[in-house]
Amino acid sequence: MKIKMKYFGMIAESLGKEEETLDLDIKMVSDLSDYFLSEFSRLEEMNFQISVNLNIVPAQFELSENDEVALLPAFAGG
Amino acid sequence: MLSTKEKYRYSRHILLDKVGESGQGKLKSARVLVIGAGGLSCPALQYLVAAGVGHIGIIDFDTVDESNLQRQILFVPDDIGKNKATIASQKLSKQNPYVQFDVYPEKLTNKNAIDLFEKYDLILDGTDNFSTRYLINDASILTARPFVYGGIYKFEGQVSVFNFENGASYRCLFPRPPAKSPNCSEIGVLGILPGIIGTMQANEIIKIILGIGDVLSGKILNYNALTADSTRIAIKKSDKQIQNILDMRDDFKDYNYDYFCETNHDNKKVEKIKEISSEELKQILKTRSIQVLDVRQEWEMPKIIELNAINIPLGEIPNRLSELDKDKQTLVCCQSGIRSRECIKLLEKQGYSNLINLKGGISSW
């Protein structure tokens, strides 16, 4: 299914882009985090949360076609 | 309540329907604690002081460094080497003589946090590291004070209000700290960014005091200074996360936040800790003996005689490892089961295995 991805902070920096559309054979949010962690293992140390259509969702949330998904890391600085 | 001179000073506020004299009075009666006097706090403080927030506490142990001046706009070269909280309050007193200041040139720790938070209505988080941020979150839950969060990374910032009217907490959004997230001194930051984010934090404080607008609670705002995009994402409150903190009230002062931030990002490791209830332990003790380690302070009561426990307070564990038989199965206990978990993680790092946590601690005996 096609999902619109948006990345913030060090995740955008690490992936070298702030947004893109992905076409993946997945169903749940947990599948999506598995995809990112296996493709880009460096994201593991960033401990991001995932939002779907601007709501933080749990891992067992089911994705739908054209969902807007964001990966949100925590920022330390101040 | 406001003098004629104050009414004139704040006249542009008083003219606003949503503020008026009563709103200005609320600002005057408000008490705000600002944690850290760095990039976020400098602009936040300037606006809180200008707005006439009547009582402001500033806590920071750190001193001004020349490299701070690019963004920490309260400081000038003559301030280098001096304590930030002290200098900030001196400058700000001149800015508005109607504001009272409390200066704490020290570090916020779990030993002083509760007493300090209780003296104020609202907390502004201007810190630059995760261990202090989790400490602020937990102390704000335990004292029922909202805290206004700000965090920055290079060109992006986040703002949110946590623990507001029983709303979501920082742990509801980020239950665990990341393994790695460098702060501004390590990776650089666009100097104006903390200015923008800190000012947004001050705005949330003012809204809460006045009771106007929509407080940024239950959502987090992400701002990108390069694209001027802002994204608001809704956060779901986790009653379990908040209850965990309320349950550790007795253990709060012994919680090791630095250690939590160094180790707790790996969730699997935490879940692997074996736990038994006091009922199960009673059953085991009927058939065999077990090495019991009590990590409470020596004065903490009650002592359970049949456990025949070795008492080593958590903080002394690293220096007193020799008192434990490494080959024996060991049950670790404390008052509520939180410190003992910390201890197990610490012992596992030292190569100990076969460790069991007493769920619910001695309180459940």
Task: Name which of A8, A56, A73 is nearest B235 (Cβ-Cβ).
Answer: A56
Shared-domain flag, residues B43 and B101: yes
Instruction: Give a yes or no: residue B253 inside a domain.
Output: no
Residue B174 and residue A49: Cβ atoms within 8 Å? yes
* Domain boundaries, position B213: 4-241
DSSP B227: T
DSSP B142-161: HTT--EEEEEEEBTEEEEEE
Taken in order of first residue, the domains within chain A and their CATH numbers are: 2-72 (3.10.20.30)
Regions in chain B scoring below 50 on pLDDT? 266-270
In three-state form (DSSP H/G/I as H, E/B as E, the rest C), the secondary structure along B107-142 is CCCCCCHHHHHCCCCEEEECCCCHHHHHHHHHHHHH
Residue B267 lies in a domain: no
Q: How many CB pairs under 8 A join A and B?
A: 101
Assess A77–B contact: CB distance below 8 Å, yes or no.
yes
Give the chain B residue whose CA is nearest to the CA of A78: B128
Could you confirm whether B343 is annotated as catalytic?
no
Q: Is residue B8 part of a domain?
A: yes
SS3 content of chain B, % helix, strand, coil (to 5): 45, 20, 40
> What is the distance in angstroms between the CA of the first residue and the CA of the last residue of chain A?
39
Give yes or no: residues B71 and B181 share one domain. Answer: yes
Task: Identify whether residues B185 and B330 lie together within a single domain.
Answer: no
**B232-290 per-position pLDDT tens digit:** 999 999 999 999 999 888 888 888 888 777 766 544 344 578 899 999 999 988 888 89
Within 8 A of A54 by CB-CB distance, chain B residues are 231-234
Of B218, B241, B264, at which residue does a domain stop?
A: B241
Kindly state the helix (H) or strand (E) to which residue B186 belongs, with its residue range.
Answer: helix B184-187
User: B236 vs A70: CB contact, 8 Å cut-off?
Assistant: no
Test B128 with A78 for CB contact under 8 angstroms: yes
Q: CB–CB of B151 and A56 under 8 A?
A: no
Write the CATH number for B104. Answer: 3.40.50.720
Which A residues 47-76 touch B at CB under 8 Å?
Answer: 47, 49, 51, 54-56, 70, 72-76
| Amino acid B297: pLDDT | 84
SS3 A52: strand
Query: Cα–Cα distance between B274 and B40 in angstroms, integer?
Result: 42
Catalytic entry in B172, B184, B261, B343: B184
Asked whether residue B314 is domain-assigned, the answer is yes
Does B131 share its domain with B172?
yes
Q: What is the ipTM of this complex?
A: 0.95
User: Which of residues A76 and B17 earns the better pLDDT score?
Assistant: B17
Q: How many domains, in total, are found in chain B?
A: 2
**Side chain identity at B198, as an amino acid letter?**
G
How far apart are alpha carbons A41 and B48 in whole angstroms?
Answer: 43
Find, in chain B, the residue whose alpha carbon is nearest to that of A10.
Answer: B153
Length of chain A as a residue count? 78
Q: Say yes or no for a CB contact (<8 Å) between A78 and B125.
A: yes
pLDDT at B77: 98
Same domain, B61 and B188: yes
Please indicate, yes or no, whether residues B352 and B207 belong to a single structural domain of this protein. no
Q: Which two tokens stand for residue B267?
A: 């969730």
DSSP three-state, residue B60: coil
**Interchain contact, B177 vs A74, CB within 8 Å:** yes
Residue B109, min C-alpha distance to chain A (Å)? 18
Co-location of B186 and B281 in the same domain: no
- Is the per-residue pLDDT at A57 higher than 60? yes
Q: Please, what is the average pLDDT of chain A?
A: 93
pLDDT at residue B265 in the model: 56
Q: What is the DSSP letter of B217?
A: B
Residues B193 and B281 in one domain: no
- Region for residue B213 given its phi and psi (left: phi exceeds 0; alpha: psi -120 to 50; beta: otherwise): left
Tokens at A31, concatenated: 């599948």
Pairing of strands B291-294, B274-276: unpaired
Asked whether residue B221 falls in the same domain as residue B304, the answer is: no
CATH of the domain at B342: 3.40.250.10
Cis peptide before B178 (omega within 30 of 0): no
**B42, B172, B333, B334: which is the annotated catalytic residue?**
B334
Q: Do A73 and B38 make contact, defined as CB atoms within 8 angstroms? A: no
Is B219 or A38 the better-scoring residue by pLDDT? B219
Residues B317 and B177 in one domain: no
**Residue B256, domain member (yes or no):** no
Region A19-47: mean pLDDT is 90
Angle at B352 (CA atoms; ends B350, B358), nearest 5 degrees: 115
Q: Which residues from chain A sit within 8 angstroms of residue B42, using beta carbons?
A: none
- How far away is chain A from the Cα of B133, in angstroms, using its nearest Cα? 9
Scan for tokens 């650089």, then name that residue: B188
The question of whether B333 is a catalytic residue gets the answer no
d(CA B207, CA B148): 11
Is B229 inside any structural domain? yes
Q: Which of B43, B81, B79 is nearest to B62 (CA)?
A: B81
Return the structure tokens found at B175. 């239950």
CA B50 remoteness from chain centre? 26
Is residue B63 domain-shared with residue B159, that is, in the same domain? yes
Please check the confidence at residue A49 and state whether its pLDDT lies above 90: yes
Residues 11-30 of A with CB under 8 A from B: 13, 18
Contact by Cβ (8 Å): B52, B10? yes
Task: Kindly state whether residue B226 falls inside one of the protein's structural domains.
Answer: yes
Q: Kindly state the helix (H) or strand (E) to which residue B33 belongs, with its residue range.
A: strand B31-35
The two beta strands, B219-224 and B156-162, are antiparallel
